[in-house]
């Protein structure tokens, strides 16, 4: 039993074989997949996929790359979707100072507004943080502590940052980068944080784990991430799979 807590199944990369990708996931024991919205169009597509496939659920939100183009009516449209039973989180939201596709000021404004929306709707948040650690942490601190109300997706910081997020009550999601030879910080985080605070993800179609690095990622490959976490912690794969799956069920309110 495994849960891929973060994928982008609506992306063009899957247009040619989406059904087969999901069949492969089910065949290797993936019980749930959370597909992420990154803007209005993508969020609508994510919801459609969740309605089509019974083990897919959706999150809706505006990614920091899309912040410049995010308008009030776009967020209102997402709010109107949030009551659908397949919607289990608000995300992917956050800050990204690496690509700078949107101005930092716009990113911060849209991020702040979406945190408020998610809080009002009682939905957990899925946080994107790339080279914006200090600002993300400070903005989340302003929201106060709250157990299991958010997850830092595709974690890329060091152990001190991970512990700071854990202190706020957030989960840490470990991606396939943990299998990369030089991913020292992620390996340390995966080996040291409490297992009850961990999710695992693919971020498909991005960041395929070794031995598939450089190829298109897909949910079935989340098993490689779980195996590496088990190796780093010197525990059984089954324990990693069971605990991270239980965490995901609690966090997203998943059935089963």
Find the CATH number of the domain harbouring 108: 3.20.20.140
Confidence class for position 18, pLDDT limits 50, 70, 90: very high
Residue 79 is predicted with a pLDDT of 98
Contact 200, 225 (CB under 8 A): yes
The vertex-52 CA angle with 50 and 56, nearest 5°, equals 35
63-94 tens-digit pLDDT: 999 999 999 999 999 999 999 999 999 999 99
Q: Is the pLDDT of residue 148 over 70?
A: no
Q: Which is nearest to 200 in space by CA: 136, 164, 246?
A: 246
Q: Is the pLDDT of residue 95 over 80?
A: yes
- State mean pLDDT over 134-150: 87
3-state secondary structure of 101: coil
Residue 174 CB burial class (10 angstroms; 0-12, 13-18, ≥19): buried
Q: Does residue 14 have a cis bond before it (omega within 30 degrees)?
A: no
Number of domains observed in the structure of the chain: 1
Domain that holds residue 54: 2-252
Mean pLDDT rounded to a whole number for the chain: 96
Q: Does residue 102 have a cis bond before it (omega within 30 degrees)?
A: no
- State mean pLDDT over 48-65: 98
Residue 147 is predicted with a pLDDT of 67
């Amino acid at each position: 039993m495994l849960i891929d807590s973060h994928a982008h199944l609506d992306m063009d990369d899957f247009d040619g074989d989406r059904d087969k990708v999901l069949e492969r996931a089910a065949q290797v024991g993936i019980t749930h997949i959370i597909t992420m919205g990154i803007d209005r169009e993508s969020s609508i597509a994510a919801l459609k996929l969740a309605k089509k496939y019974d083990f897919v659920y959706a999150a809706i939100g505006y990614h920091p790359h899309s912040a410049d183009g995010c308008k009030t009516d776009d967020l209102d449209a997402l709010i109107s979707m949030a009551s659908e039973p397949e919607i289990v989180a608000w995300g992917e939201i956050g800050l990204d100072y690496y690509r700078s596709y949107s101005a930092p000021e716009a990113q911060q404004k849209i991020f702040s507004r979406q945190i408020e929306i998610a809080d009002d709707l009682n939905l957990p948040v899925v946080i994107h943080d790339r080279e914006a650690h200090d600002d993300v942490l400070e903005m989340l601190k302003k929201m106060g502590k709250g157990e299991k109300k958010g997850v830092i997706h595709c974690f890329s910081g060091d152990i001190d940052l991970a512990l700071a997020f854990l202190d706020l009550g957030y989960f840490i999601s470990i991606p396939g980068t943990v299998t990369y030879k030089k991913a020292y910080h992620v390996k340390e985080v995966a080996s040291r944080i409490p297992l009850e605070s961990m999710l695992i993800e693919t971020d498909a179609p991005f960041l395929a784990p070794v031995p598939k690095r450089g190829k298109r990622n897909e949910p079935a490959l989340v098993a490689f991430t779980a195996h590496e976490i088990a190796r780093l912690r010197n525990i059984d794969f089954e324990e990693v799979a069971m605990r991270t799956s239980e965490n995901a069920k609690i966090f997203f309110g998943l059935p089963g």
